Copies of this chain bind each other. A is one copy, B any other.
Amino acid sequence: MKVLLSFSVIPMGVGVSVSEYVAECERVLAESGLKYQLHANGTNVEGEWDAAFAAIRRCHERVHAMGAERISTVIYAGTRTDKDQTLEQKVASVEAKLG
């Protein structure tokens, strides 16, 4: 089952600058072979459900290992059976409506 998702990792108790932790999650995604796109408030991921959620788990493990004792993550995930769709197609579909 393929999933398109956006997730945002929030390390707690390590100060207010958390880009180094987010960067570590980008490295996890790079290693995963999943398609991903960093955006201003999270990262979009496209791939198989199990691989995508395994990457988010690995991100938690790595961020804990970096010293963050608590992590909250928001995930917005979608699956569909009517057609295959890519991250790029989702954006293009909206932009086409905007002319």
* A73 interface residue (CB < 8 Å to B): yes
Whole-angstrom CA separation of A76 from B74 in the bound complex: 5
Is A70 a contact of B77 with CB atoms below 8 Å?
no
Q: How many copies does the complex hold?
A: 4
User: Residues of B contacting A39 with CB < 8 Å?
Assistant: 6, 37, 39-40, 44, 91
Interchain nearest-CB distance for A51 vs B (Å): 12
Question: Given A44-B41, A72-B78, A73-B77, A23 and B97 touching (CB < 8 A)?
Answer: yes
Is B75 a contact of A75 with CB atoms below 8 Å?
yes
Whole-angstrom CA separation of A96 from B20 in the bound complex: 9
Whole-angstrom CA separation of A93 from B26 in the bound complex: 13
Question: 1/0 contact trace for A64-99 toward B, CB 8 Å?
Answer: 100001111111111111100001101101111110
